[in-house]
C-alpha cells in the first residue's frame, strides 16, 4: 500500500467536490494491502456517494484493486470482479460479451466494491439480484471473510456493509448471470421499447434516459439522489393519503408503503432552492448540487431545510442516501 501524500485535497476524490483535505490518503492496489490498513481508515471508491463536509482527521484509503475473471457454466456465467473496477465500464464490457443482466444499471457512477454497500438500483433492477458472494477483509477480526449473498442483508439501498461502515473492506464481488435473459422494462420510458429488444438496446436506452435526466457530476458536481425514498407504515400512509391522495406510492411486500421523496420536494417548489453554493437541482428535486463553490455547511443547511419542510407538510422523515463525513467521522443529518 502506498501513501499518496499528506494534507491531500479531497475535492477531486468525491463527485460533490466540496473543499476538504485529509491528513493522508492511502491506495489499496492488492489484497494484502488491507492487512496493514489503519483501523480508522475510511475506504473510498470513486466518491460518488460520499461528501466530505470538512477537513478529515482520519486516513482515506482509495480502493483501486483491478481484475475481472469470467467462468462459463452450462446455464450461467460466474464473473469475479475486483472492488476497484469501474461499475459502468463493467456493465459495458459484460453486455458486449453477451453476459446480460446489468444493463438497467448502466451509467451509475462508482466502483464495483461500493455497489453492494448500498445495493445500487435503477429502473427496476438491484445489483443484489446478481450477487452470489462477496469476498471481504474483516477489520475487526483481522481475517478474510466470504459473504454468501443471503448473509449480506440486502435491502433498499442497504446491506450489512452499510450498517457496519468501518468493519469490512470489500475486495471482490462474484456475480452470477443466468444465460436465459429477460429484459426488465417495467419503468415507463423503457416499456416503450417493446418486448423484443436486445440487452445492448436496453443499456443504450438507460444511458440516454440518464443523460437527459440527471446532471453529469463532471459538469455540475453532485452525488445523485441525496435522500432515500421513505418507507412508512400502512397506518401512517392512511393519514398521509387523506390529505394527499395524488401522492405517488408503492406498496411493498413487507406491508410498508414507499413514497417518492423527489415528488414531495418538488411539490414544495424547492427545485432550484439555494443555500450558499448548494442548490436543489432545477430539474431533479432529489438531487442536490454544488452549483457555486459550496462548502459543507451550505449542504447541511440545505438538506436540513428540505427535511424540515417535508416533515412540516407531510409528517414524513427524509433520510440521507449519501454518506456525509466530517472531521471525526460519519455525520447523520
Ligand atoms: C449522477 C449520479 C447518479 C447516481 N445514480 C444512482 C442510481 O441510479 N442508483 C444508485 O443506487 N446509486 C446511484 N448513485 C450513487 C452512487 O453512484 C453509488 O452509490 C455507487 O455505488 C457509489 O460508488 P463509489 O465507488 O463512488 O462509492 P463511494 O462514494 O466511494 O463509497 C460509498 C460507500 O461505500 C463504501 N465503500 C466503497 N468501496 C468500498 C469497499 N471496497 N469496501 C467497503 N466499503 C466500501 C464507502 O466507505 C462509502 O461508505 C448515483 C450517483 C451519482 C453521482
17 given a catalytic annotation: no
Same domain, 300 and 206: no
The catalytic residue among 225, 231, 291, 323 is: 225
Same domain, 112 and 184: yes
Q: How far is the CA of 251 from the centre of ligand 1 (A)?
A: 26
- 275-285 confidence digits (pLDDT tens): 999 999 999 99
Under the banding of pLDDT at 50, 70 and 90, the label for residue 328 is confident
Q: Which of 25, 31, 109 has the most ligand 1 atoms within 8 A of CB, as the residue to mutate?
A: 109
Q: How far is the CA of 14 from the centre of ligand 1 (A)?
A: 10
Write out the DSSP string of 116-163: TTTT-EETTEEGGGGEEEEEEEETTTTEEEEEEGGGS--BTTB-HHHH
Is 21 inside a domain boundary?
no
Atom 37, ligand 1: which residue's CA is nearest?
114
Is 41 inside a domain boundary?
no
Q: Which of 184, 212, 240 finishes a domain?
A: 212
Is 88 inside a domain boundary?
yes
Same domain, 108 and 188: yes
Q: What is the CATH number of the domain that holds 205?
A: 3.30.465.10
Asked whether 303 lines ligand 1 (CB < 6 A), one says no
Same domain, 225 and 205: no
Q: How far is the CA of 254 from the centre of ligand 1 (A)?
A: 26
- 245-269 confidence digits (pLDDT tens): 999 999 999 999 999 999 999 999 9
**Cα–Cα separations (whole angstroms), residue 255 to 231, 234, 235, 250, 261:** 10, 7, 10, 10, 19
57 given a catalytic annotation: no
Q: Which of 170, 194, 212 finishes a domain?
A: 212
Asked whether 111 lines ligand 1 (CB < 6 A), one says yes
For residue 122, give the ligand 1 atom closest to its CA.
8
Q: Which of 162, 181, 212 finishes a domain?
A: 212
Is 172 inside a domain boundary?
yes
Asked whether 45 lines ligand 1 (CB < 6 A), one says yes
- Given a cut of 90, is residue 195 above it in pLDDT? no
Same domain, 161 and 256: no
- Given a cut of 80, is residue 1 above it in pLDDT? no
Same domain, 142 and 169: yes
The catalytic residue among 17, 157, 174, 323 is: 157
Same domain, 92 and 202: yes
Closest CA to 119 of 65, 94, 155, 160: 155
- 10-41 confidence digits (pLDDT tens): 999 999 999 999 989 999 999 999 999 999 99
- 102-157 confidence digits (pLDDT tens): 999 999 999 999 999 999 999 999 999 999 999 999 999 999 999 999 999 999 99
Please give the residue range of the domain that contains residue 197: 68-212
Q: How far is the CA of 111 from the centre of ligand 1 (A)?
A: 7
28 grid coordinates: 489499496
Number of compact structural domains in the chain: 2
Amino acid at each position: 500500500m502506498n501513501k499518496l501524500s499528506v494534507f491531500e485535497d479531497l475535492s477531486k476524490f468525491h463527485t460533490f467536490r466540496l473543499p476538504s483535505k485529509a491528513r493522508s490518503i492511502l491506495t489499496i492496489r492488492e489484497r494484502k494491502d488491507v492487512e496493514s490498513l489503519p483501523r480508522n481508515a475510511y475506504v473510498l471508491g470513486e466518491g460518488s456517494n460520499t461528501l466530505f463536509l470538512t477537513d478529515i482527521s482520519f486516513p482515506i484509503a482509495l480502493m483501486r484493486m483491478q481484475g475481472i475473471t469470467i467462468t462459463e457454466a452450462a446455464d450461467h456465467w460466474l464473473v469475479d470482479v475486483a472492488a476497484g473496477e469501474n461499475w459502468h465500464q463493467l456493465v459495458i464490457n459484460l453486455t458486449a460479451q453477451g453476459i446480460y443482466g446489468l444493463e438497467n444499471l448502466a451509467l451509475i457512477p462508482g466502483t464495483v466494491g461500493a455497489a453492494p454497500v448500498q445495493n445500487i438500483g435503477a429502473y427496476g433492477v438491484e445489483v443484489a439480484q446478481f450477487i452470489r458472494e462477496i469476498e471481504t477483509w474483516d477489520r475487526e477480526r483481522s481475517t478474510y471473510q466470504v459473504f454468501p449473498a443471503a448473509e449480506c442483508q440486502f435491502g433498499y439501498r442497504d446491506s450489512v456493509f452499510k450498517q457496519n461502515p468501518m468493519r469490512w473492506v470489500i475486495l471482490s464481488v462474484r456475480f452470477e448471470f443466468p444465460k436465459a435473459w429477460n429484459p426488465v422494462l417495467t419503468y415507463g420510458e423503457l416499456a416503450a421499447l417493446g418486448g423484443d429488444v436486445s440487452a445492448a438496446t436496453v443499456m443504450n436506452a438507460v444511458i440516454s434516459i440518464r443523460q437527459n435526466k440527471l446532471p453529469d457530476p463532471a459538469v455540475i458536481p453532485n452525488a445523485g439522489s441525496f435522500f432515500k425514498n421513505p418507507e412508512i407504515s400502512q397506518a401512517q400512509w392512511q393519514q398521509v393519503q387523506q390529505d394527499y391522495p395524488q401522492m405517488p406510492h408503492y406498496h411493498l411486500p413487507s406491508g410498508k408503503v414507499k413514497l417518492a421523496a423527489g415528488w414531495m420536494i418538488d411539490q414544495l417548489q424547492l427545485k432550484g432552492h439555494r443555500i450558499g453554493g448548494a442548490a436543489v437541482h432545477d430539474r431533479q428535486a432529489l438531487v442536490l448540487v454544488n452549483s457555486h463553490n459550496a462548502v459543507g455547511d451550505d449542504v447541511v443547511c440545505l438538506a436540513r431545510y428540505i427535511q424540515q419542510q417535508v416533515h412540516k407538510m407531510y409528517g414524513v422523515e427524509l433520510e440521507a442516501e449519501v454518506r456525509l463525513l466530517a472531521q471525526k467521522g460519519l455525520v447523520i443529518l
